[in-house]
Every structure is written in structure tokens, then in C-alpha cells.
Structure 1
Amino acid sequence: MYLTQPLHRALQQFPDRPMTICGDRVRTTREVGDRVARLAAAFLRLGVRAGDRVGILALNSDRYHEFLYATWWMGAAAHPVNIRWSPAEIAYALDDSGTEVLLLDDAFAPLAHTLKERCPELRTLVHCGDGPTPEGMLSYEELLASSDPVPDVRRGDDQLALLLYTGGTTGLPKGVATTHRRLLTSMYGSIIINRAVEPGSVTLLTAPLFHIAAFCSWHNQNIVGGTHVFLPSFSAEGFLDAVQRHRVTSCILVPTMVQAICEHPELEQYDVSSLRTVTYGGAGSPQSLLLQAMRAFPRAGFTQGYGMTETGVLTILGREEHRKAGHRLRSAGRATASVEIAVVGPDGRELPPGEVGEVVTRGDHVMLGYWRKPELTHEALREGWLHTGDAGHLDEDGYLYLVDRLKDMIVTGGENVYSAEVENAVAAHPAVLSCAVIGVSDPQWGERVHAVVVLRPGHTAITVEELRTHTKSLIAGYKAPRTVEFVDTLPTSAAGKVLKRALRDAHGQ
């Protein structure tokens, strides 16, 4: 199993079909295949060898697509770098991974000098933007033009294919090392269950490709064949314009994106009828927001994916469950065809349906381990199971309900409170645009439930007691926020997840 196989199939079966669209630039599969083989040759000329890590720090583009394929084509491993990180975090990941060749686009070329100073092993910088090539960097297009195509080495199976660094929100980032076989196992398993993409589909890539959700969406479309439309960065207007202009059929969105689209004042003026599938994930979506999105895209089928960098997609909530719009809209769906999941207690024993514990998973979709961190790998992979750190429960039919990150669970007055349940209740208030719930120290209760709330435009008169009364009408009284803080925005990661550590830090937790 090797990740370049879909490109070979596409070259054989539909070489003249548009494969990438980036702004006004459209390239066919045949053109992409030639450029990939030339870029692979350029990497070899730069001294990259099988198993080496080649990095990219860039916004989404057709060149990002070519970079991923070219890296595998010549046998190296791709290291997409988190574009939201500080220079110090980026330098750490480059050093830790041993990345010697790095591609930067126009947005990140100004970091070149800083990264070269901080990363002694980083010997070659390649400019993959559209502007002039900065001094001290090599031109992406000139490298391609001066390189003759090389054959695909077809390095795959259990060879390292991808190195993605997670978080940085708790201590140093961890490099998740995974292989061709493990990535393809995850993606094949999700395609069988989900069918979010179809042969000939047009997928719009809005989430950044350094994130596992966007990466899986991108490669799932490669597997079945079709066209990619790249947006360098997300805006509601840019998304709607791209869907209308390119007749996009599928996309993946995080909740913050869904919210921005649904709140766009000119939403109804755009033709979004081509959308057949909207996949959302990356963070818990309040049910009220999901129902709003389903009204905004009435012709689209909705699917939800739950997973993590270490595993790829674990569970999927499909179109049928969304159409029924019952209580299972609150679930994360059921395990994909390649995944086994369970919920276990602190002693590692599997819990019966309905009991909350830690979500664990095993199978060929699980990572090799954390790069150069054997202790953390041993902690996460125990007795064949990967421990996700997520708290949840299964029902009798195998649907998974996530309630919190284990570290985010609130213990108030001796009772366990899971923030996701409280957030869903608070978000159902018509004045609430978004919210996050954390536990803060309290001399009486140990911890108290504290809500951080962003109000919808025009709503300023809501009181704390009104919000508490509303919440208690939906969930038990002890779960309702005892204190509420109103803010303009919530801090979020590139995946759309609220950074609760930043909220806790603000309260000295």
C-alpha cells in the first residue's frame, strides 16, 4: 500500500480531467503527474533520501498538493508544519523532526532567516509562492523546470509517510509518526462508511492541510478521483464564492467555519445547490448550530467525523442519522470499517453501554508512535489500545457520545460535570453565538462551572441569571454555570477547537 497509487490510477483513467484549481490556475492530472515527478527529482538533487523528512510551511495551494505527492514519489516523509504556531514552536518541530529541506510560500517567507538561525540542520529553503523568490531561497518553479522526471519508487506499507505535530497547548508539541499502510487503512475504512466524496467530485479544501482532518479529506478525494479547489485561507465569502463558481460538491468544515457561513448576511444570494456533502468535525458542534447549517444547505447531506491525529477518522455519523434529526445528532457516530473502539474505566476494563469512561481504539489505523518520545508513546499505547484522552460512552447500537476531554471534566460538589453537555445547553439560548465551559477553583464547591460566552450581535441585555434559568430547563441544576463571563471572541486552534487552556490560564487555573 502506497499513497501515490491514486495518482497513478488517475493518470491511467482520466489524465485530462482537472485535478487542481488554485485561483485562476487549473492543472490537469497529466500536468500534475509531470510536475510531481520533476519535483521528486529536484528533492533528490537537493540531497533528500528515502525516509528523510521534507517540510512545508504554507497556506493551502496546488503546490501543497504537488509537494505531498512528490515527497512520497521519491520515498521521503512529508512534514506539514502548523501555520498557526510561533517561530519558536515551528523551530522546535523542525529541529525535533530533523527536517533539512523546507518549502515556504509568500505568507511565511519572511520567517526564513529566523528559522535558518534557530535550526542548524535546516540547510535548504524552497520558495513555493507566486511572488519573487527571496534571497537565500530556491525557486520552486525553477527547480521543476531544471529537473527531469523520475519514476515513482513506490515506497509504502510500513515506511514512514507523514509526521504531524500535535497541539503545543500542553508542553512541547508531539510528532505523530504514521505510515502509508496506517493512513490508507484509516481512509479506506472511512470511505466505505461515509461516501462523502464520489468519483468526479469537486472538493473544496478550506481547513489547513497540516491538520489531519483536511489531509484525510484531500486524500479521500484522491482515492476515488476528482478535482480539488484550494482556498489559501477561510472566509465565509470566499467559501460561498468558490462553491458557486466551481460547482463544489463536497467540503469539510470546522464549527467556527460553519458558524461564519450561517451568519453571513448575503448567504441566500449564493447558489450552493451543487453541494452534496458537508462534513463537519474538529470540535463539538452545538446542535442548534448544526440545525441552522442544515437549513442553510438544504440539498446537502451532512456527515460528522470524529478522530485525532494519532488515528485518523474513528467514527462517522452519516447522512441517515442527520436526516432523522433525532437524539443521535448528539453522537459522534459509529466506528468506521477499519476501526475498533471501546470505552474503559480507570482500571482499563471495558464499560457497559451508558457508562462514561475513556475512549480507546485499536487497529491498523493507529499511529506508529510519537516521534523520538518512547515514554509518551508507551503511555498512549497500552496493551494494544490507544488511549484518546476523550471521555464518552457508547449506546446499545455502538453510537459514541463524547462528553469531554478527561482533563477538562469539572468536579463540582463531588459531582462530575462534562463541559460538552453544558455548552450544548448554553448554546441553545437564542442570544448565544458561541460558548465554552471550564471549571474554576471555588472554596465551597471545589470547582464551579464557569461559562465563557460570545453573544450574537444586538444581544447585550441577557443576564447571568437568565442564562442559568435557561440552562437548568435543559440539564440538571448542578450542571448549570454558576458564573458567566461575556467576551467578544473565544481563542481557537487551527482546527476550530476552543483553547480551554488559555481560558483556564486567564483564571489562574
Structure 2
Amino acid sequence: MYLTQPLHRALDQFPQRTMTICGDRTRTTREVADRVARLAGAFRALGITEGDRVGMLALNSDRYHEYFYATWWTGGIVTPLNIRWSPAEMAYALTDSGTEVLLVDDAYAHLAPELRRRCPGLRTVIHCGDTPTPNDMLSYEDLLTTADAVEDVRRGGDQVAALLYTGGTTGLPKGVMATHRSLTTSAFGSVLVDEAVERGGTVLLTAPMFHVAAFLSWFSQSLMGGTLVFLPTFTPDGFLDAVQRHHVSTTILVPVMVQAVCEHPDFAAYDTSSLRSVIYGGAGSPEALLHQTMEAFPRARFTQGYGMTETGVLTMLTPGDHVTGGSRLRSVGRATPAVELAVLAPGGTRLPPGEVGEVAARGDNLMLGYWGQPEATAEALRDGWMHTGDGGYLDEDGYLYIVDRLKDMIITGGENVYSAEVENALASHPSVASCAVIGVPDTRWGERVHAVVVPRPGQSPSADALRAHVKTLIAGYKAPRSFAFVESLPLTATGKILKRSLRQAHGPA
């Protein structure tokens, strides 16, 4: 299958239906399809051919929707950038992927000069905002006005469709090669689970579109037909207003968003009765918050999703599971129809129910590999299994319970943070002798980044100084939110830091 197929189907069946809403801008399927074909023509005129990469650095909008489809329409590969990265991280991804054309909106146009300086291969920047276009950029709307529409090349199957960059334990992002097959397989698996996405419904996209969860929510609704409402950034007021104004039926949230909405002082003043499906994931959700949310949206069905950039959606805890409740609310559900799930011992043998090991999966939903990193690919994809690095166990009925993240990944506010990356930045401060970074439970963020620091002799670094230093090197959300200063770190006999002991000593505060 090819990822542009849902647009062709919608054009044949619902040409006059509203497809996208962004602020006061509303477009029908026919209008969107015409703009996509002409944007693809503009890309072609700029030299984009099959397999070339086109980047996007922007907040959510209807133009993100057009960018995805137009890039695939012309045979290219989308490279959406994490808007919370530092310019150095953005530049690394652009250079590593060989991206030559980048779209930026009003919020990030000011970064274009620095990205051009850091990325000699970046030859064209397109301004896709609503303010006047800067002199050194091309205008998105002008390109659409002057370009000729082109035919869809219908690139599909196991050809790469997207490079989705994720943090790495070595401190450098890795480009996950998602194919047309892997992304459609993951989306189909999601929509088959208790109608998590309503046929012909209206989805509110609040999570950033560079994130695989938001991407799959967007594409799943596209598969089922309906209307896509884009919220540039999440605020509780903006979310509630959009649900009421556009009669939203489906949305995807991370726990920190859920909490902010439910605790909004004017929550009861908004009409949220249209909401029929709430999908959540991205971080551990306390049961108390989940019950609070279910009470806040009594007409909605709740679905939890678990997965990673490399795999898409692996498991889902269905609406029926939420009604049944009990201990299964602590699980992440069962494998979607397209996924085979296993818990493996270190030697690769499958473990029986109840025994903890590494969660692994296989199926057509898996990535092709890491861009330009064959060794990392071989380490992750072994014997047909994607080794997630998560520790967990299955029960007798196939429900998966996550007990730890073997790669020391921290999920804070729905964003993945790798401890090694933060440790590298922190250790570069002249007053730090050694350090370790762990995730500790946090009622607002799910987890927060916590640093345990051994200062150099005679030094007394402050938490504020260290946090400011880290933010000059990596994205701000990765910087530690809390610190502990100690005389030494617990080590194994081989000199490795015992993070399990640190988690026990620096648990909930």
C-alpha cells in the first residue's frame, strides 16, 4: 500500500467534505487534493525526485498535512523535525539525512539562518507561515499558486516513507526508516481495535506532528475518512474550545495534557459531549488520573497505546478493558492484530507468562532500520525481532506489563529522553566529576529527569547553573528538573553505575 491512498479514496467518495480545519481556515477534500498535487509539482520543480528528503520544522497546521502528502506524491521521504530540539540537534538530523529542502513556519523561521550555516547541503528553505515571507526564503503559497499539478507516483510497499529521528543512547539522534508498509500496517492495527478512531469522525491533533503517536493518529483518521482539526500548540483552553467548536469525536493525549484539561477551572463550562474516543499514551498514567479522566468524559471510550518510533503501535488497552478495570489497567494491553509479541530471555528464548524479560515484537509494522547505521540496526533487529529495550512480562491472556526501560529511557511529558545524552551534556561542565541521570515519578510529567551529581573536589555547582549549561547543548525539556549532589555513585564490580540503586535511593520526592 502507498500512504497517499487515503487521499485518493476521500477524493473519490467525499470530495466536498471538510478535510482540514486550522484556526479559521477550512478546506474540503477537493481543495486539499488540488493543493497537494500542486505542492508536489513545486517540489518537483525544486529538484525533489524519488527518495529525496524534505524536512519540516513547524507547529501543527493544515500545511503539515499537505507537506506529508505532497512529499509522498512526488516520491520523496518526509523528515519532520522535533520542534523542541536545539539548533545543533536539528542541524545534525538535517545533515545526517541529506535533507536539501526544509519548510519552516512563523514560529521557527528565525532558526533558518543558523540551520543554513550549520548545514551546507540545505539549499532551499520554504516559508509556510502566515506572516510575510523573509527575503531569503520561498513563499509556500506563492509556490502553490505558480506550480503545475503533477501525478502521484504512488511510491509504496517497503520503500522508505519517513525518517523519524529519535534520541540515541550514544547521544546522537538516529533516523528511523519507516516504510509505507510499516506505517499503514501500524495504522490498520490501531483502527481495528474496538474502533479507537471513529469512521468519518473528527480528530483533534494536539500532540506535535513530528511525533510518531500524532502521526499515526492523523493517518488512522485519514484511513477512516473524516475531518482533521489541527491545534498548533496544546493549551487546556485551546483544547476545550476546539472540542466544543468543532464537535471533535477523537483525540490523542499524553497524561500531562489529560491532567491539565481535567483540572481546568472552567472545564464544566465547555460542551465536550461530542468526544467519543480518547487515546492516551507516551508516559505512565496514574490510575487516579485515569479514573478522573473517565469521569470527566463519561461518553468517551478510552484506549491506551504502547509502542515506539521503530515499531509504531504494538499494543492497545481497549475501551472494554477500561470498563472491566482491575489490575489490567496497570497493563499496556494486548498486541494489535498485525503484531506478534514476545518477552525474551537474554539468550533470545521466549519466556513463559509472568516472567520478566525484554519485550520484543515482529511484523510488517517494524522499521526498515536506522538510516546509515547498519550496526545499530543489526543490534535492534535480531532474528526478525525488534528488541525494544523495555523490560516487561505477559500474563496468561497476553496482556503486557512494562516494569522497566532497559535502555534507561525517560518519558517526561510524552517526550523520550535518553539518560546517556543528558549525562554527556552534564559531564561536560567543569565542576562535574561524574553523574548519572534517571527518571523518577512525577505527578505532573509522568516522570522527570533527575540528575545525581558528584562534584569535583573544591567545587559546589548549583542546580540552576548546571541546568542552564545543559540547555546550551541539548533541548530544554531534556535538562534535569531536579538534582542530588553526592560524594560517590554506586558501581558494579566492573565499574558500571548501578542505576537500580539510584532509583531506590532517589525515588518519589
TM over 0.5: yes
Q: Aligned residue for 1:271?
A: 271
Which position in structure 2 is the counterpart of 1:221? 221
Q: CA deviation at 1:170?
A: 5.0
Amino acid at match of 2:133: T
Instruction: Write the letter of the residue equivalent to 1:60.
Output: N
Amino acid at match of 2:375: E
1:325 shift after superposition: 1.8
How far apart are 1:349 and its partner, in Å? 1.3
Q: Could you tell me which amino acid in structure 2 is paired with residue 63 of structure 1?
A: R
Q: Is the 8 A contact 1:194 1:316 kept in 2?
A: no
Change (3 A) 1:506 1:207: farther
Runs of 4+ in 1 over 3 A off after TM superposition: 432-443, 498-509
Alpha carbons 2:198, 2:277 under 8 Å: kept: no
Matches within 5 A, 1:365-380: 365-380=365-380
Question: Is there any run of 5+ residues in structure 2 with no aligned partner, and where?
Answer: 410-437, 455-469, 472-476, 490-496, 498-509
Between 284-293 and 3-12, report the one with greater CA deviation.
284-293
Provide the residue aligned with 2:92 in structure 1. 92
Superposed CA offset, 1:182-216 (max 9, x none): 11111112211242112220000000000000000
Report the counterpart of residue 315 of structure 1 in structure 2: 315
RMSD over aligned CA atoms reads 2.5
In the alignment, the residues of structure 2 paired with residue 69 and residue 440 of structure 1 have an alpha-carbon distance, to the nearest angstrom, of: 42
1:326 and 1:166 map into 2 onto residues whose CA distance is 34
Contact 2:370 2:376 in 1 (8 A): yes
> How far off its partner does 1:433 sit?
5.1
Cα distance, 1:347 vs structure 2: 1.6
- The residue that corresponds to 1:115 in the other structure is 115
Distance, in Å, in 2 between the alignment partners of 1:437 and 1:140 is 39
For residue 275 of structure 1, report the CA deviation from its aligned partner: 0.1
Report the CA distance shift for 1:91/1:258 in structure 2 as closer, same or farther (over 3 A).
Answer: same
CA distance in 2, matches of 1:235, 1:205: 12
Kept in 1, the 8 Å contact 2:255–2:445? The answer is no
AA aligned opposite 2:125: L
Give the distance between the partners of 1:221 and 1:42, measured in 2 at CA. Answer: 27
How big is each residue's C-alpha offset from its partner over 1:406-459, in whole Å with a ceiling of 9 and x where there is no partner? 1449xxxxxxxxx99x94xxx7xxxx656648898899xxxxxxxxxxxxxxxx
The equivalent residue for 1:70 is 70
Q: 1:57 corresponds to which residue?
A: 57
Q: Judging changes above 3 Å, is the alpha-carbon distance between structure 1 residues 499 and 505 closer, same or farther for their aligned structure 2 residues?
A: farther
Paired amino acid for 2:319: R
Call closer, same or farther: CA 1:438–1:171 in 2, change over 3 Å: closer
Cross-structure match for 1:176 = 176
Counterpart of 2:340, as a letter, is: E
Find the counterpart in structure 2 of residue 392 from structure 1: 392
In 1, Cα distance between the equivalents of 2:482 and 2:282?
19
* 1:505 CA displacement: 8.7
Task: Give deviations 1:10-33, integer Å, cap 9, x for gaps.
Answer: 000000000000000000000000
C-alpha distance in 2, partners of 1:84/1:159? 28
Deviations 1:290-343 (A, max 9, x none): 111111111101000001000100000000011122111111000000001111
Compared with structure 1, are the counterparts of its residues 385 and 435 closer, same or farther at alpha carbon in structure 2 (3 Å cutoff)? Answer: closer
Mapped to 1, the partners of 2:484 and 2:380 lie a distance apart of: 26
Contact 1:169 1:501 (8 Å CA) reproduced: no
What SS does the corresponding residue of 1:193 show, helix, strand or coil? coil
1:415 maps to what in 2? none
1:87-486 to 2 correspondences below 5 Å = 87-167=87-167, 171-408=171-408, 423=441, 436=447
State the shift of 1:72 in Å: 0.4
Structure 1 residues 394, 103: CA separation in 2 closer, same or farther (over 3 Å shift)?
A: same
Given that 1:190 and 1:338 are in contact with CA atoms closer than 8 Å, whether structure 2 keeps it comes out as: no
- Contact 2:450–2:481 (CA under 8 A) maintained in structure 1: no
Residue 391 of structure 1 aligns to a residue whose secondary structure is: strand
Give the match for residue 22 of structure 1: 22
Whole-angstrom distance in 2 between the partners of 1:333 and 1:128: 39
Distance 1:370 1:442, change over 3 A: closer
> CA 1:102 to 1:86, structure 2 compared with 1: closer, same or farther past 3 Å?
same
Instruction: Flag structure 1 segments of 5+ consecutive residues without an equivalent.
Output: 410-418, 444-490, 493-497
Is 181-190 or 269-278 further displaced after alignment? 181-190
1:50–1:437 Cα change, 3 Å: closer
The CA distance in 2 between the partners of 1:117 and 1:287, in whole Å, is 48
Which residue is equivalent to 2:79?
79
Distance in 2 of aligned mates of 1:439 and 1:140: 42
Partners of 1:290 and 1:108 in 2: how far apart? 35
User: For the Cα contact (< 8 Å) 1:2–1:155, is it kept in 2?
Assistant: yes
Tell me how far apart the structure 1 counterparts of residues 484 and 106 of structure 2 sit (CA, whole Å).
Answer: 34
Q: Residues 504 and 54 of structure 1: is their aligned pair in 2 closer, same or farther, counting only changes over 3 Å?
A: farther
Specify the SS of the correspondent of 2:114.
Answer: helix
Question: Retained in 1: the 8 A contact 2:54–2:100?
Answer: yes
Q: Give the match's secondary structure for 1:175.
A: strand
**TM-score, length basis structure 1:** 0.83
- Counterpart Cα distance in 2 of 1:505 and 1:104: 39
Instruction: Give the whole-Å Cα distance in 1 for the aligned partners of 2:259 and 2:480.
Output: 22
Q: 2:427 matched to which residue of 1? A: none
TM superposition score normalised by structure 2: 0.83
Contact 2:453 / 2:484 at 8 angstroms: preserved in 1? no
Separation in 2, partners of 1:346, 1:332: 22
The alpha carbon displacement at 1:504 in A equals: 7.2
Q: Which residue of 1 aligns with 2:419?
A: none
- Counterpart of 1:321 in structure 2: which amino acid? D
Cα distance change of structure 1 residues 433 and 148 upon mapping to structure 2, 3 Å threshold: closer
1:501 deviation in Å?
Answer: 7.0
- Find the counterpart in structure 2 of residue 471 from structure 1: none
CA contact (8 A) 2:449 2:480 kept: no
CA distance in 2, matches of 1:57, 1:215: 15
Aligned residue number for residue 494 of structure 2: none
